[in-house]
Amino acid sequence: MKKVATAVLCLFVGCLRLCADSLLLPTDNGAVLDPVRYLQNAGTERCNGGFGLVRENGTKFHGGIDIKPVKRRLDGEPLDVVRSVADGTVVYANDNGDGSSYGKYVVVEHGSFSMPVLSIYAHLASISASAISGHVVAAGEVIGTVGRTAQGYEIPRDRAHLHFELALRLGDGEEFARWYGGQHFLTANIHDLWNGLNFASFDPLPLLRSGEDFSLAEHIRNLPTAFVTRIFTEYFPPFLRRYGALLDGWDGGPIGGFDVEWTWFGLPKRWCALPPSVEHGRCENVEVVLLQSNWQLSQSACTRETLVRGRGNVLRIGKRTAATLEKIFGGCVKILDSSRD
């Protein structure tokens, strides 16, 4: 029975990688090929509403894209409606604009793609009455309106925008709760799994611009590799059961860990299962070592703190990478002191 289940899983994953995925635009702004008309300027730098190190002179990471409104009232408030980019299910709607840096936001899970993915719609002025947890949405269905809500401050009217993300969910309830509880934050986690700290986002703009069907799984797996880690563990995390299309080399049996390829911004994009290791043995904690790194991407990775430079300019695993693994594995992650340039 186990071999049959494994064969079915492998066939399922193989099928997923061949599936064609597609996205609609989330608003009526169709100037996706023109960043000046599409991306909202969020401050002093022109067109810094994109994904990546685009804030505070390239030192602050932005995990989504900010989309300009194209319709406004006479007083300047935006009128654009926000639509789901694909068929999916609303998994969370936060109608408290002061309860998150996202302001009012909606999270939709798209389970029919070549691998599940979340779309996040933030800083909304309002959320549609139907956009409640469990509601099945169709591609193009209105879920809210563009706004400028955010925790602790109000986005200026002339910079109102939709913050849009595509992301993977790192931890399940137990794993993420254990990590969050260990951070000694001053506020409780009122958003549970759908807290933005539990998302690993990637740039949605290339997919929105493609205008064609694509394989989301292959797109993520083929993002540039900034560094590779080896993880020693016998635990198979829920993350990989959810995103099995990112996993290679697993036959359904025991494991000794994983080799993981990472993007510079900290998305664990490709996993390869390792056989049980007699040499290493069983470890209670998850132990991680840096295997290799791409020097061309290391500067961005260090700014993002997925990697850090230690004594002698030696690259080491950064705190954001460790935190991502803690959320995925729900336990203590020990960074082994065996780095390479």
Q: Domain boundary at 214, 249, 267, which?
A: 214
Can you give the residue range of the structural domain that contains 128?
Answer: 35-214
What is the distance between the alpha carbons of residues 270 and 226, in angstroms, rounded to a whole number?
Answer: 12
| Same domain for 236 and 203 | no
SS3 133: coil
Q: Domain boundary at 153, 188, 214, which?
A: 214
| Same domain for 234 and 165 | no
Report the number of distinct structural domains present in the chain: 2
Least confident range of 49-58, 116-125, 164-173, 314-323: 49-58
| Same domain for 261 and 136 | no
| Same domain for 250 and 187 | no
What is the domain-level CATH number for residue 82?
Answer: 2.70.70.10
What is the distance between the alpha carbons of residues 272 and 258, in angstroms, rounded to a whole number?
Answer: 5
Q: What pLDDT is attached to residue 13?
A: 46
pLDDT digits (tens, 9 = 90+) for 194-246: 999 999 999 999 999 988 899 999 999 999 999 999 999 999 999 999 999 99
Q: Are 255 and 276 in contact (CB under 8 A)?
A: yes
| Same domain for 231 and 206 | no
In a domain, 22, yes or no: no
Q: Which residues of 249-282 are buried (b: 16+ CB within 10 A; e: fewer)?
A: ebeeeebbbbbbbbbbbbbbbbbbbbeeeeeeee
Count other Cβ atoms within 10 Å, centred on residue 58.
13
Q: Domain boundary at 189, 214, 239, which?
A: 214
Q: Are 226 and 264 in contact (CB under 8 A)?
A: yes
First vs last C-alpha separation in the chain: 46
**Stated pTM of the model:** 0.91
pLDDT digits (tens, 9 = 90+) for 110-164: 999 999 999 999 999 999 999 999 999 999 999 999 999 999 888 999 999 999 9
Q: What is the mean pLDDT of residues 313-336?
A: 93
Q: Which two tokens stand for residue 10?
A: 């492998």
What is the distance between the alpha carbons of residues 198 and 194, in angstroms, rounded to a whole number?
Answer: 7
